[in-house]
Chains A and B, each alone.
Chain A
Amino acid sequence: MSCENYKKALIDAAASGDALSLALRAHMAACSSCIAAFERERSLLAAIDGGVRAAANAPIPASFLPAVHVRISQEDASAAKRQASAHWAYYAAAAVAVIIAVWPPPRWDRDALRSAQTEAGASVASTGRKQDLSVQPGLTAERSVAPVDPRADRGRNSPTMTRTSASSARMKSDRMRVLVPPDQELLMARYLHALHEGSLRLAAGDSSKPPTLGSPIDVIEVSRVELLPLPDLGPDSTSEGKQLGDTVNGVLK
């Protein structure tokens, strides 16, 4: 093999940094030019390595690490801001949900219901403490009264007006609407059913005959109550008052 071929192998060996093969070492022992070429190549590669090291480890701008710290702080701040805004969005959504839950029915809905009641002319509103069911003198039992489904308002705590849409309120405007407390719904339903079926006839002022019921509702008998004018009570009103009380009691008995 010629020196040129050995030189190529020597350059590769110098570049790789591997140990020389036996054949190369044997040639170098006898060839001074190849030894010189190998040394030149090694010194060139050493210089290259030095240059590469210098380039690789060149000074870095002093502002680099502080700038990274600043950017990390900005990142933290923006992350905290994102987190805070997420919290606010959560609280705002909760607040909106609460407002929607407790807000009264829309105004147009209430107005529609009110007009429906006016048209019916027999709206009875309960305050929630007691049932206020009254039949006006001119109103006879023959008037059509819609039976109330006792299950309709079940589950509600207070006898408030059922929220209906304006159209349904208008549709039912020819019916009398009665609101009753939940514990009296069943009784009221039976009463209205009996009234609707005609088994119960009730006329204003006709209280001499007790109403007959087709349904098992007990008739309550109430004795006639006579009301007397209250006499003027003087200073010794104690004895007179007692006498008057006795008289009233006697009448009631």
Chain B
Amino acid sequence: MQELVLIQPGGAAERDWAKQAENAATRREFEERLAECGLLAFRVARGVLRNDADAEDVAQEALLRAYRRFERLRDRRRFRAWLVRIAFRLALDRARSAKRREQRETLWSRQALQVSTEDIAASSEFQARVERAMKELSPKLRLVLLLSAMEGHTTEEVAAMIGVPPGTVKSRLFFARRQLAEKLR
């Protein structure tokens, strides 16, 4: 005896419609978050990679990953910290790639030279020196330094973003500033 299961087209269409509406709502919400935090992802990536082109690639990838997994994020208020961690990890992965590192070093030295030339022309050589000194910091110290400088984040906010205790953030900030001061003194 053969049994055929009949599919109700109306039910399927209704499900499709509900799914589409849900997707549209998710996308709207994500775009609101993107407007708030999209640039932060770029800055974090640039802080690690020191290269605009690589930073743009990594930030786009981080935002796409965040979009794909946005529905799984239970507490949407933690989106900022979540995105920073995604961008930071991706940027570190990119930075660890030996091939990419070579390209990055070459591009960065060119870019640094350009910036330095511009800065010298504009009598802001110090800025170029600061950026070169920052390049020599470890990624973790650099990230803390940059996040603290970005958008007026407090120590607690930075700690929440990178998932470490506030004391660790303070400590990293101290070592980063002291290293920079030693190089620039």
Contacts and interface: CB of A to CB of B under 8 A. Distances in A.
Interface stretch (A42-50, A116-124, A218-226): A42-50
Interface residues of B, number: 44
Interface in B139-179: 145-147, 149-151, 170, 174, 177-178
Given A57-B149, A71-B64, A76 B23 contact: yes
- Give the dominant DSSP class at A's interface: helix
B42 A64 contact: yes
Contacts of A44: 181, 184-185
Interface of B: 1-2, 4, 7, 23, 27, 30-31, 34-35, 38-39, 42-43, 46-47, 52, 56, 59-60, 63-64, 67-68, 126-127, 129-131, 134, 145-147, 149-151, 170, 174, 177-178, 180-181, 184-185
SS class, residues of chain B in contact with chain A: helix
A98 B4 CA distance: 8
Contact of B177 (A15, A67, A71): A15
B146 A52 contact: yes
9 contacts: A49-B177, A55-B134, A55-B146, A57-B149, A57-B150, A61-B56, A72-B67, A76-B27, A101-B2
Contacts of B2: 101
Contact of B149 (A12, A45, A56, A65): A56
A60 interface: yes
Interface residues of A, number: 33
A241 to B, nearest CB: 54
A103 B65 CA distance: 48
Question: Which of A12, A49, A52 has the largest count of B CB atoms less than 10 A from its CB?
Answer: A52
A75 B63 CA distance: 12
A55 B184 CA distance: 16
A210 interface: no
A202 interface: no
Nearest to B62: A68
A95 B38 CA distance: 46
B150 A56 contact: yes
A19 to B, nearest CB: 14
Contacts of B7: 94
A155 interface: yes
Given A54-B130, A55-B146, A56-B149, 10 more contacts: A12-B174, A52-B130, A52-B180, A55-B134, A56-B147, A64-B39, A68-B59, A71-B60, A72-B64, A76-B27
A136 interface: no
B27 to A, nearest CB: 7
A51 interface: yes
